[in-house]
Amino acid sequence: MISSLCVALIWLLPATVLAQESPATQLKALLQPLKTLQADFNQRIFSADGYEIQSSHGEMHVARPGKLRWIIAPPMEQWLISDGNTLWLYDPDLEQVIIRPFQQSVADTPALLFGGGADQLEENYSVSVSHAEAEASYVLKPLISSGLYEQITLVFTGQTPTEIRIVDSLAQRTEITLSNAQRNIPLSEAQIDTLFNFIPPPGVDILQDD
- The pTM assigned to this predicted structure is 0.81
Residue 128 β-bridge partners: 139
Q: What is the pLDDT of residues 85-125, one digit of tens each?
A: 899 999 999 999 999 988 755 555 666 677 766 777 788 88
Say if CB 205 and CB 97 are below 8 A apart: yes
Q: What is the mean pLDDT of residues 195-204?
A: 94
**Angstrom distance (rounded) from CA 12 to CA 160:** 7
* The pLDDT of residue 117: 65
Q: What is the pLDDT of residues 58-67, one digit of tens each?
A: 999 989 888 9
Residue 44 β-bridge partners: 55, 175
The domain made up of 2-208 is a member of CATH 2.50.20.10: yes
Minimum mean pLDDT range among 72-76, 113-117, 169-173, 193-197 = 113-117
Taking the domains of the chain in order of start, what are their residue ranges?
2-208
**Angstrom distance (rounded) from CA 71 to CA 39:** 11
